[in-house]
Structure 1
Amino acid sequence: MDLAAAPPALLTRRHLHVGGDWIDPSSGDTTAVENPATGETLGEVPAGTPADVDRAVAAARAAFPGWAATAPADRAAHLDRLHTALAARADEIARTVARELGAPLKLATRVQAGLPLTVLRSMVDLAARPAAEQVVGNSLVVREPVGVVGAITPWNYPLHQVVAKVAPALAAGCTVVLKPSELTPLTAYLLFDAVTEAGLPPGVVNLVPGTGPVVGEALAAHPDVDLVSFTGSTATGRRIAHLAADRIARVALELGGKSANVILADADLPTAVKVGVGNALLNSGQTCTAWTRMLVHRDRYAEALDLVAAAVAGYRPGDPFDPATRLGPLVSAAQAQRVRGHVDRALADGARLVAGGPDAPLPPRGHFVAPTVFADVHPDSALAQEEVFGPVLAVIPFADTDEAVAIANNSRYGLAGAVWSADSDAALAVARRLRTGQVDVNGGAFNPLAPFGGYKQSGLGRELGGYGIEEFTELKAIQR
C-alpha cells in the first residue's frame, strides 16, 4: 500500500491491543494524528483512559509468570519471529513515519525503520543466552525479570524508542504495557500488527495509546507496574520519577541532552564540520543526542564557520516524499513555535547569525523551521544551555583543550558528544574527561550493543545491548 497516496481514513485505528487481542477502548474519545508537513489530519487513534491502563496492566500481570518461566531460547524464537514480521513491514513503517513525523523518506527508511530492526536483531541473539549467574562465597547471585514494565515512548523516533524498551524487556522475561506518543502513534500500531503475526503469547506486550497526562500518569502511578521506562523531556521524566517514588517503584529515564562536538586544532576540519552539521540537523534537530554545540579551536574558528554555512546550505526543507528534501518539518505547530522562540532569544542575546534565521525562505505550509546557525555563542547563554530540539546549531570558540572540556561539561545534561583530532590518543583523552554517557571519537560508528544513556539530568539507567536487558532485571542472592 502506498501510504503517500492513501486517504487519511486508511490510517485510522480504532482498537487497543490487550491480552493478545484487538479490543474496543473503554471510551469513544479519539486523538487526531496530523501530518506536520501539510497540517492535514492523517487519521485518529483511541484516546486511552485509566480504565484501559488497568486492563492492560492486568493482562501483563497475568502473562508474567508464564513468560518469565519461558526458556531463553524460546523467548529468542518469539523475538526472531517478531523481527521477521516487522522487517516485512519496513517500507510501510518508513512511509508512515514520513507522514506522521515528517522525516524525509530516505531518513525514515534508513534510520527510522532500519535502526530498530538492527536493535531487535541484536536482542534476538542476546535473548537466547541464559541470564548470568555468579558465585560469590557461599552465595549464588542470579538475575530475574523485574516484572511488569510500563514503557512510555516519545515521538521523535517512534519505532526505535519502542523497540529499545520492548525488546530488552521481553528478552529479560518481563511483560510490557506500551504508551506511544500521541503525536506519532500510527507506527506503534504497525509494530503490534507484527506482534499479532508473530504470535507472541497473549498479554506479553500490550498497547494503550493516549496522552501523557492521562495514560502516561496512570501507567507511571499504577501499583502493579514494577518498572517505568520513559524517554522524553527532563521535566516529564521528573514527574514520572515522583509518581514511581510514591510507590517505591523503579524507573529508567532517557531524557534531554545538549551535546558538545569538540573539534581540536589538528582535526580534519572539513570532515568534522560536515559530520557535525549532519548530526545536529538529523531528524530536523529532533534528536536527544544531537551535537547542538560545536566547539572549535580559535585558530580554525573562522574557517569552520565558512564550512558550517556551506554545509547547512545543502539542507533543503520540503516535502518528506521529495528525494531532494534533506530537512523535514518539526512535529507540531507548538514545537515549531518553541524552536522559533529559541532563535529569537539567541538574536536578542547577541549571538551572530551565520545561516538561516527567522527570515529564511520556507515551504508555504507545514511546521518548518529553517536550519539555523549562530556563532559567538556564550557558553552560559540560553542557546548553549537549553535543549532546543530543532535545527539550530551553536558554534563556540575555545583557546585550549582545558577550556574545551570545561565548556563541554558546562551543562546540566550529559547524554552524548564527540571529539575530533588527528591524534587519536589525544581525542580519547578528551573523551574520557567529558561527563556524558557516550562519546564518538573521529566519527566512531553507532554500536547497538553498547550502553546508551546519560549522566546528570540526561537520565537514569541504560538501554541497548546486554546492559539494556540488565535494566529490566532484579538481583537475587541465594545463600547455600
Structure 2
Amino acid sequence: MIEKRNFFINGQWVAPLAGRDYEVINPSTEEPCAVISLGGEADADAAVAAAKAALPGWMATPPAERIALVEKLLELYVAKGEELAQAMSIAMGAPIDLARTQQVGAGSFHLKNFITAAKEFQFDRPLNDRAPNDRIIYEAVGVAALITPWNWPMNQITLKVGAAAIAGCTMVLKPSEESPLDAIVFAELMEEAGFPAGVFNLVNGDGMGVGSRLTGHPDVDMVSFTGSTRAGIAISKNAADTLKKVHLELGGKGANVIFADADEKAVKRGVLHMMNNTGQSCNAPSRMLVQSEIYDKAVEEAAAVAAKVTVGPASEEGNHIGPVVNETQWTKIQGLIEKGIAEGARLVAGGPGRPENFNKGFYVRPTVFADVTPDMTIAREEIFGPVLSIMKFDTEEEAITVANDTEYGLTNYVQTQDPTRANRMARVLRSGMVEMNGKPRAPGAPFGGMKQSGNGREAGIFGIEDFLEIKAVSGWTPE
C-alpha cells in the first residue's frame, strides 16, 4: 500500500494540520492502492499564506528566470515519465500504454509550448508607435488556486502550473482526490527544479473542504478550475464575494457532423476518438450527426468499430480501454445507458453491465446508440464514458441547429471534403474549438469553451495571458 499523507507547503513536505485518511481505489480491481490525507481549512490557509508571502519576490523575478525554471521542470518531467504514467494508471485507470504516451505526453507537450510562447511574449512594451510615453505592463494576477480533475491529470496540472509559473503567479494546487499520486510526483519535480519556497504548494482535499476554502479565500486572487459544470457553478458563486478572477474549463457534449462526402475514415475516427480514455474526456465527440444519405452505412460501421474495441485492466500493455474511474461514475453511466434504451434509442453495440469475463472493476462495455433524437437524455447529458449517440440529419442547416442545441460549447467536429462548407460550419458552430477532418489543433492553440463549457483559455500564449493582468501606464519615460 502506497502511503502519501504529507502536503507540500512553503518548500517543505509537511504533515496535515487537519487531515483525515482517504483510500485511493484502483478502478481495475476495486481495491485500495494508496492512502493520502484529505486536508482541511487550516491546511488550505497555510498553503495560501505561503503563496501570498512568496508572491512579491516571484513577481519581481525576471521572466527569463521563470522560463528557465520551467525548462528545468520539463527536463525532470520527461525523466520521470514512467513514474508519472504508473501513478496515473493505478489510480484513475488509464491503460499503461495510453498513460505513457497520451497522458504523460500531454504534459510535456504543454510545457514545451509554454516555453516557446513565453520567449516570444513581451511582458513590458509600448502601447504603440504613436504613444511612446504609454506603457503596457503584463503583471501576474497574484495567488492562484488550481483545482484539477482526475481524467487527464498531467494535461490539466501542466496547463495550469506552467502558465501560472511563467506569468509570475504563486499557486496552490488541489488535485482530484481520485488521482492524487501523479500530482505528488509532480510536486517533487517542482521541488527538484528549484522553484522558490511558496511559489508552488500542494494540498490534497475534497471539493467541500479544501476546494471550497480555496475558491472563497480572501487572499486567493484567481481560481483556475477544470471539472464538471455543476462544480463550476458552485465555485463561481463561492468566489463571487471576493470578486476574484475565475477561469472554468467544464463539461462538453461535442457534435461530430459527418456529411455524405466525408472521407472514408471519418466514422471510424469518430468512434475511436469517443472511446479514447474510456470516453472520459470533456471534448469527446459524443454526438455523431450523420447525413441521411450515408446514415445506415455509418451506423453499421460504427457498431463494427465499437465491437472491436477491447476492454482490459489498466496494468496490462496494449491498445485497449480501461475502467472508468470509480463506482459513482460507473453507476451513473449504467443509468444513462438504461435511459437510452428506455427512451427508444436503438442499441447497436455494447449495452448495460460489465463486458464479458469481468465481474469486478469499473468496466463499461463500448456502447453505440443509433436513431437518437435531440430530446433524448443521452443526447443532452454528458455521459463521460464510452457511449456514443448517433443522430440523422438531412441538411446543413438542420445539422447546425442540432449541433448548437446544447447547453455546452466546448469542441465540435466537422467531416466534409467541401472546404467552403467546412469553413462555413466552423464559423457558425457555437463552441470554443472546431476540429475538421481529423486535423488536430496546432501546438499552442487555445483550449476552452463557451456557454456552460466555461470561460477562459488554456495552452500557449492564451493560457499564460489568463494568469496576467494588463496594467496601462501613462507618462512613461522611455529608457
- Tell whether 2:99 aligns with 1:104: no
* Partner residue of 2:422 out of 405, 423, 427: 427
- The count of aligned residue pairs is 470
Alignment map for 1:61-72 (pairs within 5 Å): 61-72=52-63
Note the C-alpha offset of 1:208.
Answer: 0.2
Q: 1:144 to 1:392 in 2, by over 3 A?
A: same
- Aligned mates of 2:124, 2:277 — CA distance in 1: 37
Q: Does the 8 Å contact 2:323/2:361 carry over to 1?
A: yes
What TM-score, normalized to structure 1? Answer: 0.96
Q: 4+ residue stretches of structure 1 with deviation over 6 A?
A: none
- Tell whether 2:128 aligns with 1:133: no
Note the C-alpha offset of 1:406.
Answer: 0.7
Q: 1:324 to 1:71 in 2, by over 3 A?
A: closer
- Aligned mates of 1:308, 1:170 — CA distance in 2: 43
Deviations 1:75-128 (A, max 9, x none): 111001111111111011111111111111111111110111110111123333
Q: Alignment partner of 2:68: what SS?
A: helix
Corresponding residue for 1:88?
A: 79
Tell me whether 317-326 or 133-142 shows the greater mean CA deviation: 133-142
- Aligned mates of 1:356, 1:362 — CA distance in 2: 14
* Partner residue of 1:295 out of 272, 289, 301: 289
Percent sequence identity is 45
Tell me whether 126-135 or 352-361 shows the greater mean CA deviation: 126-135
Q: Does the 8 Å contact 1:362/1:369 carry over to 2?
A: no
Q: Does the 8 Å contact 1:355/1:373 carry over to 2?
A: yes
Q: Does the 8 Å contact 2:127/2:136 carry over to 1?
A: yes
Corresponding residue for 1:326?
A: 320
Q: Does the 8 Å contact 1:147/1:227 carry over to 2?
A: yes
- Tell whether 2:353 aligns with 1:356: no
Whichever residue aligns with residue 71 of structure 2, its letter is: D
Deviations 1:359-408 (A, max 9, x none): 55252210111111000101121111110111100000100111111110
* Partner residue of 2:362 out of 367, 371, 377: 367
- Aligned mates of 2:55, 2:196 — CA distance in 1: 10
Whichever residue aligns with residue 443 of structure 1, its letter is: G
* Partner residue of 1:55 out of 42, 46, 51: 46
- Tell whether 2:373 aligns with 1:347: no
- Tell whether 2:277 aligns with 1:283: yes
Note the C-alpha offset of 1:348.
Answer: 0.6
* Partner residue of 1:471 out of 461, 466, 477: 466
Q: Does the 8 Å contact 2:22/2:37 carry over to 1?
A: yes
Q: Does the 8 Å contact 1:75/1:127 carry over to 2?
A: no
Note the C-alpha offset of 1:324.
Answer: 4.0
Q: Alignment partner of 2:368: what SS?
A: strand
Corresponding residue for 1:16?
A: 7
* Structure 2: gaps of 5 or more residues: none
- Aligned mates of 1:396, 1:308 — CA distance in 2: 12
- Tell whether 2:32 aligns with 1:38: no
Deviations 1:400-435 (A, max 9, x none): 111111110010000001101112232121111100
- Tell whether 2:445 aligns with 1:453: no
- Tell whether 2:262 aligns with 1:267: yes
Corresponding residue for 1:200?
A: 195
Whichever residue aligns with residue 290 of structure 1, its letter is: A
- Aligned mates of 2:261, 2:158 — CA distance in 1: 39
Deviations 1:118-176 (A, max 9, x none): 10111123333441534154632221110000001111011111111111011101011
Q: Alignment partner of 1:151: what SS?
A: strand
Whichever residue aligns with residue 135 of structure 1, its letter is: L
Note the C-alpha offset of 1:325.
Answer: 5.1
Q: Does the 8 Å contact 2:97/2:318 carry over to 1?
A: no
Cα-Cα RMSD: 1.3
Whichever residue aligns with residue 241 of structure 1, its letter is: S
Note the C-alpha offset of 1:275.
Answer: 1.1
Q: Does the 8 Å contact 1:317/1:325 carry over to 2?
A: no
Whichever residue aligns with residue 460 of structure 1, its letter is: N
Note the C-alpha offset of 1:306.
Answer: 1.2
- Aligned mates of 2:418, 2:319 — CA distance in 1: 36
Q: Does the 8 Å contact 2:258/2:266 carry over to 1?
A: yes
Corresponding residue for 2:107?
A: 116
Deviations 1:234-268 (A, max 9, x none): 01000100111111111000001000001111111
Q: Alignment partner of 2:256: what SS?
A: strand
Q: Alignment partner of 2:265: what SS?
A: helix
Q: Alignment partner of 1:216: what SS?
A: helix
* Structure 1: gaps of 5 or more residues: 1-8
Q: Does the 8 Å contact 1:374/1:394 carry over to 2?
A: yes
- Aligned mates of 1:285, 1:226 — CA distance in 2: 34
- Aligned mates of 2:69, 2:357 — CA distance in 1: 46
Corresponding residue for 1:4?
A: none
Q: Alignment partner of 2:290: what SS?
A: strand
Corresponding residue for 2:205?
A: 210
Tell me whether 169-178 or 11-20 shows the greater mean CA deviation: 11-20
Corresponding residue for 1:27?
A: 18
